[in-house]
Structure 1
Amino acid sequence: MENICDMNNKVKVAVLDTGIDKEHDYLKDNLVGGIAFECMHDYIFISDKFDDEDGHGTACASIIKKEYEDVELFVIKILRKDGITNIKVLEEALRYLLDTNIRLINLSLSVIGVESVKGLFEVCYELFRKGKIIVCSLANDFDLSYPAMFNNVIGVRGLTLDVDDSFWYNKKYDVQCVMDSNSYISCDINNSYRLPPKCNSYLSAKLTGKIAKILSEKPGITISDLNDKLESLAIRNHWNSCDFDECSRIVNFKLDLYDKENDLLIKVADVVRDCLNIEDNNEKLFKCSLFNKEIGLVYDNCFNLLKKLEYRFDVKFNYMDISKYDLVSIYTLTELVERYKNL
């Protein structure tokens, strides 16, 4: 408990998730401790075994750090490898945080289909009364889940917005934040990286990181003032359900960026063909998204492609700055390589 109760100006974030890769090069210097809660035979057990076996918690932690480099991460493992937990485990983990000086809590999880969330609401309310800030993702493809819908929790959902890395915010809405859903490479277990799919979990982590940065600049900010600050940073403060049916930002494949005879484009295409086992005469490589099923790029093999490009062109990518839009076509991918070659 000592390393989470020292009073200082550092911003500590409690990440309640699947754990963390303790030895990940990107995260290990930010990790200040951890604990695990597990339910077995109707009893809740506490241990120090908070290693991540899934990757979800590691990804969320890295997204938080990307938004605020100096964040201190305290990890509470409550989700199993399959991403499931018992609501009582969640309640107990939150109750544990009542007597710590950790003010910011990330919950990239949701509770649906339970008979009662009264106990969960009560512990969230106790945390809120103590000035603690809970950020929670809305369940994917649902309009209602908990604790995101509680009035003492900041709820987050995703949408393709007009501006990359932007968000909407209204403190009076049930789900206060709508975050742009463009995916960026994030950390994975085994000291690796991965492009995560569109998921509210990762957007909750993103907002948590942004709030951590605000807290680093204004440690004593009240929750009311924080809400006002987030509204001022948002590109929009009012919306309705009809806005969720509109996708206003169109992905730019940059088809005219390079001539097909461009030397760098040809070399990048060779790497893509080798990585994805594409035939040399497959012209769809130059006409379709790389994520087209006939091309074969998917979330799980993006990092492997990036490693092959690093080796071929003797460059070193900053993985966390690479988004799906950088990988969407052979042209955007070539532009990415060119950008790093010119550094």
Structure 2
Amino acid sequence: MASFQAVAERPSPRTFRLAHASRGAVVESARLPLPCAVTREWAWGEATGAGVRVCLIDSGVDAAHPGFGRPVSALAVAAGPDGDDVQHRIVPDEAGDQAGHGTACAGIIRDLAPGCELTSVRVLGGALQGRGEVLLAALEWAIEQRFALISMSLSTRRTAHKEALHDLVDRAYFAGVTIVASAHNRPVRSYPWHFPSVISVGSHSLPDPERIECNPEPPAEFFARGVTVEVLQPGGGTALLTGNSFATPHITGFCARVLERHPGFGTGQLKHVLAAIANNRI
């Protein structure tokens, strides 16, 4: 069976080596022709993501964590009737987050877009690994539910489910569902972040959670804070973690803000807005 995983790295006291990370390059404004000026005030102003439905596909959440402020709906993928491993079901998540990864990502989304309607679907276990069939079931369900945003801080290097995964992210694109996907922490080819129908995210090392960088050399299209990020952890605590996994929910939060102000925007428009307001444009 094909597997997938999310990788979170604890920061080294001396250095870190994170693939798909910002090198501080700038992007010339001439590369992004605009019909009018696009500023952060225009993009989201005082928006908090109110009313925007966001689905986080990850390791689940500690739904009782006080840091969330507002409730987070916690669901999981379960086998179908009689243990059928093909007909999966989406059920209430009774096990919760055994890894801390999903709680961390959910906390970042809720911190940047406190008004969003956040739903967690658990597909990863305590070792941050899972099965391809489970991921596909969760993603298909989220697309059918027409979430505005799907945040995925995970990927697979296996090719067994590549075609089905590609079909699903394309279906999401044409359905007006935007997928924000994490680039792998290592310099390898994995999916779905390599697909152009998603918003792909790597990391910058600056401490500003509001900083966005547009990458002049994709496939990782945008960089957000992903180094030594203070994140929520199950049980009510916090931790300092590093990885593209934690840059991704920053971009998801920004997109939720934009969609509150501009609810008709799809993936293409969101990419354009993020590039227009990037801090490394000259």
Q: What TM-score do the two structures reach when normalised by structure 1?
A: 0.61
Query: Structure 1: 5+ residue runs without aligned partners?
Result: 1-8, 239-343
Point out the structure with the larger strand share.
Answer: 2
Cα deviations by residue, 1:261-289 (Å, 9 ceiling, x for unpaired) = xxxxxxxxxxxxxxxxxxxxxxxxxxxxx
Match of 1:140 in 2: 185
1:18 has 2:59 as partner: yes
Aligned match for 1:223, one of 243, 267, 275:
267
1:103 matched to which residue of 2? 148
Secondary structure class of the residue paired with 1:224: helix
Amino acid at match of 1:11: V
Residue number in structure 2 paired with 1:274: none
Q: Residue in 2 aligned with 1:160?
A: 205
Query: What is the deviation of 1:25?
Result: 1.0
In the alignment, which residue of structure 2 is the partner of 1:34? 74
Letter in 1 for 2:77: F
Deviation at 1:102?
1.2
Taking the aligned partners of 1:88 and 1:142, their CA distance within structure 2 comes to 25
**Helix, strand or coil for the counterpart of 1:185?**
strand
Task: Return the match for 2:255 from 211, 230, 235.
Answer: 211
* 2-structure distance, mates of 1:102, 1:170: 26
Q: Does 1:48 align with 2:92?
A: yes
Inter-CA distance 173–76: structure 2 relative to 1 (3 Å threshold): same
Secondary structure of the equivalent of 1:144?
coil
1:117 matched to which residue of 2? 162
Please, which runs of 5 or more residues in structure 2 have no aligned partner? 1-49
Secondary structure of the corresponding residue to residue 214 of structure 1: helix
Counterpart code for 1:215: L
Query: Displacement, 1:165?
Result: 4.3
Q: Does the C-alpha gap of structure 1 residues 42 and 216 become closer, same or farther in structure 2, counting only changes over 3 Å?
A: same
CA contact (8 A) 1:30 1:70 kept: no
TM superposition shift of 1:223: 2.7
Q: Is the 8 A contact 1:30 1:71 kept in 2?
A: no
1:57 CA displacement: 0.3
The answer as to whether partners of 2:209 and 2:224 remain within 8 angstroms in 1 is no
* Amino acid across the alignment from 1:203: A
Distance 1:131 1:171, change over 3 A: farther
Distance 1:143-1:87 versus aligned 2 partners, 3 A rule = same
Higher helix share: 1
Is contact 2:123-2:138 (8 Å) kept? yes
The answer to whether the 8 A contact 1:139-1:200 is kept is yes
Per the alignment, residue 305 of structure 1 pairs with none
Residue identity in the other structure for 1:205: P
* Distance change in 2, residues 1:227/1:117 (3 Å): same
Q: How does 1:50-65 map to 2 (within 5 A)?
A: 51-65=96-110
Aligned pair in 2 of structure 1 residues 116, 224: CA closer, same or farther (>3 Å)?
A: closer
Aligned residue in 2 for 1:339: none
Equivalent residues of 1:121, 1:147 under 8 A apart: yes
Q: Which amino acid aligns with 2:157?
A: I
1:225: how far off? 2.2
Q: Structure 2 vs 1, CA of residues 88 and 102 (structure 1 numbering), >3 Å: closer, same or farther? A: same
Q: What fraction of aligned residue pairs are identical, expressed as a percent? A: 25
The 2-side partners of 1:194 and 1:160 are apart by 17
Whichever of the two has the greater Rg, that structure is 1
RMSD: 2.5
Q: Could you say which residue in structure 2 is the equivalent of 1:151?
A: 196
